[in-house]
Amino acid sequence: MKRFLIPIILMTVFATADAQNAKAVSADKPEKIVTFVKTEHPTDWYARQAKLWEAEVKKNPNNDDAWIYWFKATRYKIMFEAYDTNSKNNNNHDYIDGDYSPLKDIAVRLAKERPNSYARYTIDYFCDMFVSGFECEDNMLKAIEMRPDNEEMYTDYVVYLLRKGENELMAKVLKKWYNTGEYSYNLLNYAYNEMIGMQQNGIIFVNGDTPTFSKLLVKYGKDLFADKTVICMSLLATPEYRNAVSKELGISSIPEPDYQDYDKWMDNAVMHIIRESKRPCYFSTVIPNLPSFQDKLYSEGLVYKYSDKRYDNLVVKQDNYERRYLLDYLYEQFTPETYEATAYQLNLNYIPCFKSLMDYYKESGQKDKYTELYGLMKRIVLKTEGISDEKRKLYHDEIDR
């Protein structure tokens, strides 16, 4: 046995040395900047990447991707610096806007050096989204025409086209995006389960990248739920988007934003859609701030349904869980997860959404169904990566409560 001990140790040392050398090399080599929703890095990583991509731009000013990565790395650096500062000073995780003037500097320089480039058109669009008080041209459609198959920009193409109400072109982009097979299997399953329980011609209100993209990909990429309408609440502040929603639903104009009381305006805008459309309306349970009329929202599983009248929503929740939702993916998967930053943790939402159903099974003596749902919840917590032991314990305690 001792004869084999030394080679194993040496191999470990060499492997460690190789890893350290590789790390040193990668530290000086710029890496692609993907959305933090997909893969999140610490603030100093984005700061380092911003410098490396700036150097790439100096070496080759005609490299469109280098300009875009420089801009994105700088944006994430600023964003996470603001987040880190706020968390340290206020002991919470509320987002604070940072100083985005460096982004303006990049855009101004690019407009001078390469005024008719793909990079200029896309970065002008980014500035319109993130840099207040900066006038820039809207040439994003030109950018999409120049590089319609740029997979790394599909998220931005979709947001732009959604805001503008360009649903036909957006559907084509979403079909291409879906066919790459790149999007998270977990997130698509979750979105499917949200939408399968909705009534015909239902509307679902969402917020944020993940809830919006996943449902749009299921609808337009997978060609499911053509009768359902996905409304991104934060985009309702955009005139073109409000007009597109009003036209699609056949309702009168949605009120313009009141930034003095934005929350109240948002509630009124959503209620305007609910009242005038006369369609079944739902809210994703992962919306951080639900409307003020929460007393009219009833849990049906992974969504809340708006209703003026009380009804037995537990029956609907049970039907969704037992007959409609696809749950095999929660037990085992054979597809690599591409969105590790969010996908697994989203599944934790099944626990608060179905705790009442599990309790019902227990109280009504349905032992087999109780055991099955209890085991599924425990498995979700066990398999969820990237959470602290303290948070994991909280979920276990909630299940056993």
* pLDDT at site 20: 45
Average pLDDT of the chain?
A: 89
135: alpha, beta or left? (left if phi > 0; alpha if psi -120 to 50): beta
Same domain for 308 and 379, yes or no, is no
Same domain for 296 and 350, yes or no, is no
Kindly report, residue by residue over 169-197, the tens digit of the pLDDT.
999 999 999 999 999 999 999 999 999 99
* pLDDT at site 86: 65
**Residue 12 reports pLDDT greater than 60:** no
Same domain for 378 and 305, yes or no, is no
CA 19/CA 14 separation, integer angstroms? 9
Closest CA to 70 of 88, 48, 90: 48
Does residue 47 fall inside a structural domain? Answer: yes
Instruction: For 310-335, give one letter per residue: b (16+ CB within 10 A) or e.
Output: eeebeebbbebbeeebeeebbeeeee
Does residue 42 fall inside a structural domain? Answer: yes
Kindly report, residue by residue over 329-349, the tens digit of the pLDDT.
999 888 888 877 677 789 999
* pLDDT at site 25: 42
Same domain for 310 and 194, yes or no, is yes
Q: What's the rounded mean pLDDT across residues 213-221?
A: 98
Domain termination residue (choose one: 314, 332, 358): 314
* pLDDT at site 309: 96
* pLDDT at site 44: 94
Same domain for 191 and 96, yes or no, is no
**Residue 67 reports pLDDT greater than 50:** yes
* pLDDT at site 35: 84
Domain termination residue (choose one: 130, 147, 164): 147
Alpha-carbon dihedral 80, 86, 91, 92, rounded to 10 degrees: -70
* pLDDT at site 117: 97
Does residue 232 fall inside a structural domain? Answer: yes
Report how many helices (DSSP H) and strands (DSSP E) the chain contains, helices first: 18, 5
Which segment of 126-135, 214-223, 254-263, 353-362 scores lowest on mean pLDDT?
126-135
**Residue 305 reports pLDDT greater than 70:** yes
Same domain for 229 and 180, yes or no, is yes
CA 170/CA 212 separation, integer angstroms? 13
Beta-bridge partners for 305: 282, 298
State how many domains the chain has.
3
pTM: 0.85
Kindly report, residue by residue over 384-394, the tens digit of the pLDDT.
888 889 999 99
* pLDDT at site 341: 64
Instruction: For 2-38, give one letter per residue: b (16+ CB within 10 A) or e.
Output: eeeeeeeeeeeeeeeeeeeeeeeeeeeebeebbbbbb
Does residue 74 fall inside a structural domain? Answer: yes
Does residue 68 fall inside a structural domain? Answer: yes
Same domain for 291 and 379, yes or no, is no
Same domain for 183 and 261, yes or no, is yes
* pLDDT at site 7: 34
Q: Where are the alpha helices (DSSP H) in 258-320?
A: 262-277, 313-319
**Residue 19 reports pLDDT greater than 60:** no
CA 77/CA 43 separation, integer angstroms? 5
* pLDDT at site 88: 53
Tokens 């399953």 sit on residue: 189
Residue 223's H or E segment, with its range, is none
Same domain for 92 and 216, yes or no, is no
**Residue 135 reports pLDDT greater than 70:** yes
Same domain for 186 and 310, yes or no, is yes
Domain termination residue (choose one: 298, 314, 330): 314
**139 three-state secondary structure:** coil
**Residue 22 reports pLDDT greater than 50:** no
Does residue 5 fall inside a structural domain? Answer: no
Does residue 100 fall inside a structural domain? Answer: yes
Same domain for 79 and 190, yes or no, is no
Give me the domain span that covers residue 201.
174-314
Same domain for 185 and 308, yes or no, is yes
CA 203/CA 195 separation, integer angstroms? 9
Does residue 54 fall inside a structural domain? Answer: yes
CA 52/CA 70 separation, integer angstroms? 8
Kindly report, residue by residue over 226-278, the tens digit of the pLDDT.
999 999 999 999 999 999 999 999 999 999 999 899 999 999 999 999 999 99
